[in-house]
Amino acid sequence: MYNEKLRDQKKIVLCEDGTNTLYSKEFNEPYHSTKDGALHESLEKHVKPALALTKNKTQLTILDICFGLGYNTFATLYYLKKYKLSIKVHILSPEFDEGLVRSLATFDYPKEFESIKPIIQAISQNLFYEDEQFKIEILLGDARKSIPQIKEKIDIVYQDAFSPAHNPLLWTTEYFKDIRAICKEDALLTTYSTAAAVRLGLYENDFLVFVHRAQMMRYSTVASLKMLEDVEYIDMELKKQRNAEARSMKDRDYQ
Ligand SMILES: C[S@@+](CC[C@H](N)C(=O)[O-])C[C@H]1O[C@@H](n2cnc3c(N)ncnc32)[C@H](O)[C@@H]1O
């Protein structure tokens, strides 16, 4: 398994959008695309498409995989506050690096997060936050163990683990089966990954697959349990025919 000592070895990296992320020596990868930028990536690949495609809902339960620096969670709060959207949001976020979450009170976040600083402090201290609109829970420990324990039904999954090459167990078809089991029937999932193996793993678990395009950003993937209007649909049966060698990732290959 992963090396506990390496978990403490991270260095701050400045992204091209001017926001800070970390580089993980444990996973040999940055927490965000330094080219797309931590805040920009979070808003464009996750928060904006997810909220736009669930805009009829007044309450959302979001699974944020995994918490890391919390950009996806904090950008969700920032965006809802900025546009004065009164949607009630409950965010559940697995994370096994407790030391990282506890260090976030002093992390140098972008100015956009200034107004949610007290929330960042509370999460860093208590791994939990709740007010009238937001409830945020960090699920400490291995996501593969905590996800099947979740009782809530999920509207949105931010699938933002380290890459399939470096963190394969958070991208397998069995992993997506566990995700599917806790999803509402109209749930959607956002991810930066456009890999055929990942899309197949989603498709094998009832998700329809779409391309998401945003400005100044590499395209990404949106997957949904129901058909979406006005989003570029990918015919996965056709993809399978054209790429007969493609396979989803399987737990047994990485254990
Ligand atoms: C790419 S980072 C997440 C970035 C995050 N969304 C953000 O905005 O900062 C991946 C995170 O997953 C965590 N992680 C990796 N494998 C995990 C597992 N099996 N269970 C729980 N957390 C895990 C790592 O500690 C790391 O914080």
- Specify the DSSP class assigned to residue 251: G
Give the per-residue pLDDT at 131.
98
- Indicate whether residue 68 lines ligand 1 (CB < 6 A): yes
User: What are the per-10-residue average pLDDT scores of the chain (255 residues)?
Assistant: 67 94 94 93 96 96 98 98 97 97 96 97 98 98 98 98 97 98 98 97 98 89 96 96 96 95
Residue of minimum CA distance from atom 3 in ligand 1: 68
Helices 173-181 and 196-203 pack at an angle, to 10 degrees, of: 40
Say if ligand 1 is within 6 A of residue 203 CB. no
b (16+ CB within 10 A) / e for 195-223: bbbbbbbbbebbbbbbebebeebeebbbb
| pLDDT of 1 | 46
Q: Which atom of ligand 1 is nearest to 94's Cα?
A: 21
Identify the residue whose C-alpha is closest to ligand 1 atom 24. Answer: 68
Please tell me if the CB atom of residue 119 comes closer than 6 angstroms to any atom of ligand 1: no
The type of residue at 128 is: F
Using a 6 Å cutoff on CB, does residue 113 contact ligand 1? no
Closest approach atom of ligand 1 to CA 158: 6
Is 159 touching ligand 1 by the criterion CB < 6 Å? Answer: no
Nearest-CA residue for ligand 1 atom 5 is 68
DSSP 203: H
Ligand 1 neighbour 144 (Cβ under 6 A):
yes
Q: What is the pLDDT of residue 167?
A: 97
Residue 54 burial by Cβ neighbours in a 10 Å radius (0-12, 13-18, 19+) = middle
* pTM reported for the whole predicted model: 0.96
Give the atom of ligand 1 at the shortest distance from the alpha carbon of 38.
8
pLDDT of residue 215: 80
Distance 27 CA to ligand 1 centre (A): 10
- Candidates 73, 62, 69, 75; CA nearest to 113 is 75
